[in-house]
């Protein structure tokens, strides 16, 4: 239902409406002063007195608006619209419709679309009302006989002045509105850009904090299981080397890309995070585990995936979460299907888990543990090659072995 309150709300919230409303008041004041002079000189007394009242009205309104005495800009629109319609209808009646005073009614109908931009229904009502009056007068132009007989040259001058002024006012208001809208949109874009940067840096800080917590927790777990505590740094370096070389050689291109390389490097420290639930008596046992103890040890894969879901499961980067789960849960799966926890085989094993398996086993072979001494690097390379196609993905083993120099550089960096 159409209500005045809706018009008020629409005007109050419209972009640029305040500037346009002020322009309308000033134009109306100047226009009616000029009209007052014209009607006085051509002797149309009724319009002269009407314009005296209009000048006083718009003068008071202009002072009130520019002194902020009247803060409700909708008031200027109501007064201007009613006065313009009344003024133009009377002017057409006394001087004849051919003088085109009613063009200003059409102008007001157009202006309302600029002011009430955010309320199309309300602006449409005003626009249609103005258009109906204008079209009706244009259609019935021959039915009206002017009350005053004015010199044709004077009427022609008034007609051209009315049309010209109407067009100029519309163009001026469109330019003002366009400039105001552009300025508002530009400021909005700047604000959005600023907020986006803030969100980016905030998310980056959260990611850094999350990675720090994950690495700290992984180091805590690793320190229970090894002598150096640097297993997670080395395996992270190995998986990056494997993933990078595989990407360069177009190995598994449907999976391995730049994003995958970044994510698996971040996820690698979490591959053994599930060992936090394994008792020290099993983790640090110097001899072979019993079948019962080994079953408890195997739980670190599934428990690790559950811990990861709790720690990073709320992350918006679902690919990262999935890769982290894959490396934790699947890094003890075997290419021949004899691994754990799910006895997956070959391409059933996620690519991230296959890469992690190579890095994890290699580092376990060349690193000292409480239950064994390290073996030479060349011996570890030989074991990986022998178990290619049984324990490990043969394609990824070849990728790994092709980067021996980088792998040995990692060992020199982290092994003290």
pLDDT digits 0-9 by tens, 266-276: 889 888 888 88
Peptide bond before 341: cis, by omega within 30 degrees of 0? Answer: yes
Per residue in 269-320, pLDDT (tens digit) is 888 888 888 888 888 788 788 989 899 899 999 998 888 888 776 665 788 8
| Predicted confidence band of residue 179 (pLDDT cuts 50, 70, 90) | low
pLDDT at res. 261: 95
For residue 193, CA distances in Å to 185, 188, 190, 200 come to 12, 8, 5, 10
Per residue in 49-78, pLDDT (tens digit) is 888 988 898 888 888 877 766 666 666 777
pLDDT surpasses 90 at 13: no
For residue 335, CA distances in Å to 46, 345, 353, 401 come to 102, 5, 11, 17
Cα torsion angle, 397, 400, 404, 407, sign:
negative
Per residue in 155-172, pLDDT (tens digit) is 788 778 777 877 777 677
pLDDT at res. 147: 77
Q: And the tokens for 259?
A: 């994003």
Q: Tokens 């005296």 sit at which residue? A: 52
pLDDT surpasses 50 at 15: no
More confidently predicted of 259 and 118: 259
Q: What is the mean pLDDT of the chain?
A: 79
More confidently predicted of 249 and 99: 249
pLDDT at res. 178: 66
pLDDT at res. 232: 83
Q: Which of 79-83, 185-189, 375-379, 393-397 bottoms out in mean pLDDT, i.e. has the lowest?
A: 185-189
| Predicted confidence band of residue 394 (pLDDT cuts 50, 70, 90) | very high
């Amino acid at each position: 239902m159409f209500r005045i309150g809706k018009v008020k709300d629409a005007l109050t919230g419209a972009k640029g409406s305040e500037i346009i409303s002020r322009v309308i008041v000033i134009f109306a004041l100047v226009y009616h002063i000029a009209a007052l002079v014209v009607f006085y000189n051509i002797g149309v007394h009724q319009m002269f007195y009407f314009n005296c009242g209009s000048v006083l009205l718009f003068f008071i309104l202009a002072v009130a608006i520019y002194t902020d005495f009247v803060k409700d800009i909708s008031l200027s629109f109501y007064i201007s619209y009613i006065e313009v319609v009344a003024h133009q209808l009377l002017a057409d009646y006394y001087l004849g419709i051919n003088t085109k005073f009613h063009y200003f009614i059409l102008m007001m109908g157009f202006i309302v679309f600029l002011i009430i931009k955010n309320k199309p229904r309300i602006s449409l009502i005003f626009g249609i009302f103005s258009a109906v009056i204008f079209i009706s007068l244009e259609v019935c132009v021959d039915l009206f006989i002017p009350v005053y007989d004015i010199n044709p040259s004077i009427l022609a001058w008034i007609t051209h002045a009315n049309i010209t002024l109407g067009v100029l006012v519309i163009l001026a208001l469109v330019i003002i509105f366009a400039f105001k809208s552009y300025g508002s949109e530009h400021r909005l874009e700047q604000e959005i850009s600023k907020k986006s940067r803030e969100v980016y840096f905030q998310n980056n800080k959260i990611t850094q904090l999350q990675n720090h917590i994950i690495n700290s927790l992984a180091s805590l777990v690793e320190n229970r299981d090894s002598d150096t505590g640097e297993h997670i740094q080395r395996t992270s370096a190995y998986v990056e080397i494997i993933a990078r070389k595989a990407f360069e050689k177009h190995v598994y291109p449907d999976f391995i890309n730049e994003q995958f390389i970044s994510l698996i490097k971040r996820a690698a420290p979490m591959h053994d995070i599930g060992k936090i639930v394994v008792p020290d008596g099993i983790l640090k046992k110097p001899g072979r585990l019993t079948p019962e103890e080994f079953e408890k040890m195997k739980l670190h894969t599934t428990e690790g995936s559950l811990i990861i879901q709790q720690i990073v499961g709320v992350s918006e980067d679902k690919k990262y979460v999935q890769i982290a789960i894959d490396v934790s849960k699947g890094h003890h799966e075997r290419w021949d299907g004899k691994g754990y926890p799910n006895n997956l085989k070959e391409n059933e094993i996620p690519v991230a888990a296959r890469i992690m398996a190579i890095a994890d086993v290699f580092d376990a072979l060349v690193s000292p543990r409480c239950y064994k001494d390290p073996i030479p690097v060349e011996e570890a390379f030989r074991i990986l090659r022998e178990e290619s196609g049984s324990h490990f993905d043969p394609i990824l083993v070849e990728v790994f072995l092709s980067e021996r120099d980088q792998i040995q550089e990692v060992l020199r960096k982290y092994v003290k």
